[in-house]
């Protein structure tokens, strides 16, 4: 069996007893990321700003584990209001460009934020 590595960036805004990312071989699985800085302060006032902040946090977590955004092959998105999906998608598309990982978007009751995202990535393999 392949060993599992659990990692959390030093400046991550982790709000509980968990790791930011798990690595199994060349596969990475992140915890849900929200738009908070390392002091747990919410970043952004609208869905576009919060989406950009979450994706930047995910990018930093992936970098710690040796991956880049184009290594992402699966994305799960949780929105407080599904009516924000179009605006969310604009910010999401700006980040990913032509890279199109599989994605699920669901409505969820989130604590003080508009969006939470977790991803799965294959180091060097999804792009």
Q: Which domains does the chain have, with CATH numbers?
A: 4-122 (3.30.1330.40)
Coil, strand or helix at 36? strand
Asked if 122 and 27 count as a contact pair (C-beta separation under 8 A), the reply is yes
Do 57 and 13 contact (CB within 8 A), yes or no? yes
Tokens for 56, please give them: 């930047």
Task: Give yes or no for a contact between 59 and 12, defined as CB atoms under 8 angstroms apart.
Answer: no
pLDDT tens-digit series, residues 93-112: 999 999 999 999 999 999 99
Per-residue pLDDT tens digits for 66-89: 999 999 999 999 999 999 999 999
pTM of the model: 0.90
d(CA 119, CA 41): 22
How large is the angle between the packed helices 85-96 and 47-64, nearest 10 degrees? 40
pLDDT digits (tens, 9 = 90+) for 24-50: 999 999 999 999 988 889 999 999 999
Assigned token pair, 50: 């919060």
């Amino acid at each position: 069996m392949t060993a599992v590595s659990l990692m959390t960036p030093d400046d991550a805004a982790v709000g509980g007893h968990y790791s930011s990312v798990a690595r199994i071989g060349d596969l990475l699985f992140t915890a849900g990321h929200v738009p908070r800085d390392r002091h747990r302060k919410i970043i952004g006032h609208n869905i576009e700003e919060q989406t950009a902040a979450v994706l930047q946090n995910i990018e930093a977590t992936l970098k710690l584990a040796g991956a880049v955004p184009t290594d992402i092959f699966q994305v799960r998105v949780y929105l407080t209001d599904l009516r924000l999906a179009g605006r969310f998608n604009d910010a999401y598309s700006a980040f990913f460009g032509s890279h199109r990982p599989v994605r699920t978007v669901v409505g969820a009751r989130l604590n003080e934020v508009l969006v939470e995202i977790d991803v799965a990535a294959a180091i060097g393999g999804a792009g």
